[in-house]
Amino acid sequence: MAETRHFQLPIVAQEAKEENGNATNQVITELGTVKYKRWICILLCIIFLLCGQSVAALLGRLYFDKGGKSKWLSTLIQFAGFPILVPFYCISRPKMLTANHCSIGSNNQPSIMMLGLVYVTFGLMSAGIGFLYSVGMQYLPISTVTLIAASQLAFDAFFSYFLNSQRFTPFIINSLVLLTISSVLLVFNNNSSRLAGVSQVHCAAGFICTILGTAGSGLLVALQQFALRKLVVRQSFKVVLDLVMCQSLVASSAILVGFFASGDWKGFSGEMDEYGLGKFSYLMVLIWTAICWAVFYIGAVGLVLEVSALFCTAISALDLPIVPIIAVFAFNDKMDGIKVISMVLAIWGFISYVYQQYLDDYMPKTENTGEISELF
């Protein structure tokens, strides 16, 4: 009997070891699947952000270039496209985006009043930032506005350092430096910084407003990341929709007040009649600009939720060389060697940042695998 037990013990131990090994492999496989799905979500958000931002910026310049004059209307269409996102509530599932970051400190959902305060604050900030950008878009070339907007990287890094404890690694610093140099090169290459018929005073006003709008954008994105990670317990695609739609609703309401209070609405009909491309094109420019901005906001908030505010800004900066290239065909802008070098630097900086994200994903996975092995 004792001899039988002696042979059974190794067998039981071996079976337990195999079960533990299978459990370990299953956990590792599940971790890999989560990472894979997360990067698919990130890729989709990047596409939304870049496509929406590029087309919306070009259409926004086209509005003023062909006879548009209302800064309030130009600001309104930056947020008025949010109703097209309503159908996504019907087709979205609770976990369309991965819960990459959980809130800290509490397992309770925030109160309706707290969320309402956050949405109203973000909406009013967005309205102010949008108006500042519209002033810049009216008085400056699109390439100049786009290049000034690149400084959002510095503002976002500054605010994220204090609000979100942003960690700076050599690859992140390399990415920021390359993207900044890319924008600086294009600034020096901008032969004409003033549009025809725009005075020096208006040009200076456009420059100042664009700088202020860029600083505000950096602060807003950092605050969005802070709010999503501190207030929202269960993070999903619906959270992104809630933030984008509520923020856009508040911003649109505030802008409408300014639109009617300023009297710009009185010139709407005349502006449509005198538009250089015709009435139908006038409406199409406004509608598609609104749609593209809505797509952009989905991608931007999605990246903030899935990665970080600084990553969102870095991806947005990748748009720097894209807009000038498209402007070559849309507005007959010149394309030379410096713009090509700028594009290469921007892509290099983007790859540097993505590689850091890969390291951030790989290292925790390796550490977790070791910890699991030790448990078994």
Nearest to 81 by CA among 312, 296, 319, 257: 296
More confident residue, 306 or 75: 75
Q: Measured between alpha carbons, how far is 353 from 169 in angstroms, rounded to an integer?
A: 10
Q: How confident is the model over 277-327, as pLDDT tens digits?
A: 888 999 999 999 999 998 888 888 788 777 776 777 778 777 766 776 777
pLDDT band at 105 (very low <50, low <70, confident <90, very high): very low
Cβ neighbours, 10 Å, residue 200: 8
CA diameter of the chain = 104
For residues 9 and 17, what is the distance between their CA atoms, to the nearest angstrom?
12
Query: What are the tens digits of pLDDT across the range 171-185?
Result: 878 877 877 777 667
pLDDT computed for residue 260 by the predictor: 92
Question: Residue 314's closest CA among 173, 187, 207?
Answer: 173
Please state, rounded to an integer, the average pLDDT across all residues of the chain. 75
Q: Read off the pLDDT of residues 120-136 as tens digits, 9 standing for 90 and up.
A: 999 999 999 999 999 98
- Is 266's pLDDT higher than 90? no
The amino acid present at 271, given as its one-letter code, is: E
In a domain, 238, yes or no: yes
Determine what percent of the chain falls in helix, strand and coil, rounding each to the nearest 5.
80, 0, 20
* Residue 350 backbone dihedrals phi, psi, to 5 degrees: -65, -45
Q: Tell me what pLDDT residue 213 has.
A: 92
Residue 106 lies in a domain: no
187-230 tens-digit pLDDT? 565 555 566 677 778 888 888 898 899 889 989 988 988 887 77
Cβ(323)–Cβ(146) under 8 Å? yes
Note whether residue 105 is domain-resident. no
More confident residue, 304 or 54: 54
Task: Give residues with Cβ within 8 angstroms of 269, minimum separation 6.
Answer: none
For helices 200-231 and 309-317, what crossing angle results, to 10°?
A: 140
More confident position, 22 or 326? 326
Question: Is 51 within 8 Å of 260 (Cβ atoms)?
Answer: no
Asked if residue 374 belongs to a domain, the reply is no
Structure tokens at 58: 């070009």
Instruction: Indicate whether 294 belongs to any domain.
Output: yes
Domain of residue 241: give its range: 33-88+111-362
Residue 94 lies in a domain: no
Q: Residue 129: its pLDDT value, please?
A: 95
State which of 23-27, 48-52, 82-86 shows the largest mean pLDDT: 48-52
What pLDDT, on a 0 to 100 scale, did the predictor assign at position 231?
Answer: 75
Query: Is 132 domain-assigned?
Result: yes
Tell me if 369 is assigned to some domain: no
Q: CA-CA distances (angstroms) from residue 355 to 40, 107, 154?
A: 16, 33, 20
pLDDT-based confidence at residue 261 (cuts at 50, 70, 90): very high
Exposed, middle or buried, 196 (CB in 10 Å: 0-12/13-18/19+)?
A: exposed
Q: Which two tokens stand for residue 372?
A: 């699991």
**pTM score, two decimals?**
0.74
> How many domains does one find in the chain?
1
Decide if 244 contacts 84 (C-beta within 8 A): no
Of the listed ranges 20-34, 43-57, 262-276, 278-292, the one predicted with least confidence: 20-34
DSSP sequence for 76-94: HTTTTTGGGGTTHHHH--T
Mean pLDDT for 105-115 is 67
pLDDT score, position 371? 35
In 10 A of CB 356, how many CB atoms? Answer: 20
